[in-house]
Amino acid sequence: MNDFAPILAALDSILIPAIEQALAAGLVAGAGQLQGIAQASGTYEDDTGATRSGTVAYAATPEIDGSAAFGAALAAVEQHNPGTGQSVGTGESVDENTYAVVLTVPSDYIDKLEIEHAGARAFLGPAMQQNAPQITAAVAAAVGGALA
């Protein structure tokens, strides 16, 4: 009887890191697309430009916490509207099996903007919902490329 355990372990040691790396790359690409689309939204009130400038989408993976992207967005909010930046949670922490895209604005008034006027000015949820297929496609293409 053949023992395939060493062969399967070797394949796992090669394939799993390649898949995880491709998955992260796909999420980074998808997040970049999502951020551009969200920033182009016509639902911003644009009193100061802080919300549009501070809109950020980033990948959150076991290796990427998004703190650099979040920090840049926080700086943009503060530049346009000093004193309104919300630095609580500077990055998204995920466990070793979680891969996600985060879309947010690090301001102390984003919750209000999302819910006032019965959500007519909301852009974070709708942008994420509308672009989930593109993010999924970016991830699938990256993983597919890694396995090809």
75 vs 11: CA distance, rounded Å: 44
Q: List 58's β-bridge partners, or say none.
A: 102
Lowest average pLDDT, out of 9-18, 98-107, 126-135, goes to 9-18
At 18-61, the pLDDT tens digits run: 999 999 999 999 999 999 988 888 777 767 888 889 999 999 99
Q: At what angle are helices 124-147 and 5-39 packed, to 10 degrees?
A: 140
Cα distances from 41 to residues 37, 92, 122, in angstroms, run 7, 24, 10
Mean of all residue pLDDT scores within the chain: 86
Amino acid 103: pLDDT: 92
Query: What percentage of the chain has pLDDT greater than the value 70?
Result: 94
Query: Between residues 88 and 62, which one has the greater pLDDT?
Result: 62
In angstroms, what CA-CA distances link 47 with 19, 41, 43, 80, 138?
43, 14, 12, 10, 34
Check whether 91 has a pLDDT greater than 60: no
Asked if residue 78 has pLDDT above 90, the reply is yes
Q: Is the pTM of this model over 0.85?
A: no
pLDDT exceeds cutoff 70 at 90: no
Residue 68, amino acid: A
Residue 80 · residue 48 · CB < 8 Å: yes
Per-domain residue ranges for the chain? 8-147
- Under the banding of pLDDT at 50, 70 and 90, the label for residue 144 is very high
